[in-house]
Amino acid sequence: MRQVIVAGNWKMNTNKAEGEALVSGIKEGLGETSAEVLVFPPFPYLGGIVAAAEGSAIQTGSQDLYIEDNGAYTGEVSTAMLKDVGCTHVLVGHSERRHVLGECNKLINTKTRKGLADGLKVVLCVGELIEERQAWQMEAVLDEQMSWGLAGVTADEMASVVIAYEPVWAIGTGLTATPDQAEEAHKYLRGWLESHYSADVAENTRILYGGSVKPDNAAELIGQPNVDGALVGGASLKADSFLGIIAAAG
């Protein structure tokens, strides 16, 4: 039985006080849950969020990493720095990194392998644009992003990989994939894992849905056979709504 994950990607939102108050509110309201809970704050606040979450089951991840250990890479953050402040996870390949900031498949793969090699758990994001879905290219896009993103990643390393399916057309738009649409994509991804790795890897790898997840649609989405949780954007910025999603996840 795969443990459900509810992850909150705060993106470029909150200030120090807001972020710490937010994680404290989640911590206070969390109670008993079977879900793994994870937050991805902005870089400057990671240490404070780790400290505020101390004593709870809330884990903290980074929204990005760089592929070198140190050096003249202005503005970048290394895996050692992330681990030093208490990060356990890192997001790689989020659609905004791909489509707004121009990250290519090769760079995303290098980041994935760097994160894994240095002991971080990687949440690898994949998903299609609206024009790609309308052109019936969803499977081709997912195949390309998975093939590149996981190139050189071993079956053993897959124990530290989570896949997040995020249809780009449903991120911050108010649109949400129907439960059937989400299940279709997740089922394809699980089949991809089986054909490229093994039935065991496919069975044990968790695949999250991301795209306008809210408390009122979370239970139906996460209730699909191949949906193992949610990568939450806007609704993770308020403790009550994020806790509502966690409650819906069980």
Using one digit for the tens of pLDDT, what is the confidence trace for 207-232? 999 988 999 999 999 999 999 999 99
Q: Check if 94 is active-site.
A: yes
Is 28 among the catalytic positions? no
Give 93-105 pLDDT, tens digit per residue. 999 999 999 999 9
- What CA–CA distance (Å, rounded) separates 28 from 81? 28
- Residue pair 80/50 in contact (Cβ under 8 Å)? The answer is no
Above 80 in pLDDT, residue 35? yes
pLDDT value at residue 173:
77
Find residue 123's DSSP bridge partners.
Answer: 91, 162
Whether the Cβ atoms of residue 219 and residue 2 lie closer than 8 Å to each other: no
Residue with the two structure tokens 């949906």: 227
Q: How far is CA 237 from CA 62, 76, 212, 241, in A?
A: 16, 25, 13, 8
Query: What is residue 4's predicted lDDT score, i.e. its pLDDT?
Result: 98
pLDDT of 110-154, one tens digit each? 999 999 999 999 999 999 998 998 899 999 999 999 999 999 999
Write down the catalytic residue from 94, 96, 183, 186. Answer: 94
Q: Which of these is catalytic: 36, 166, 183, 186? A: 166
Domains (ranges, CATH) in the chain? 5-249 (3.20.20.70)
How high is the pLDDT of residue 206?
A: 98
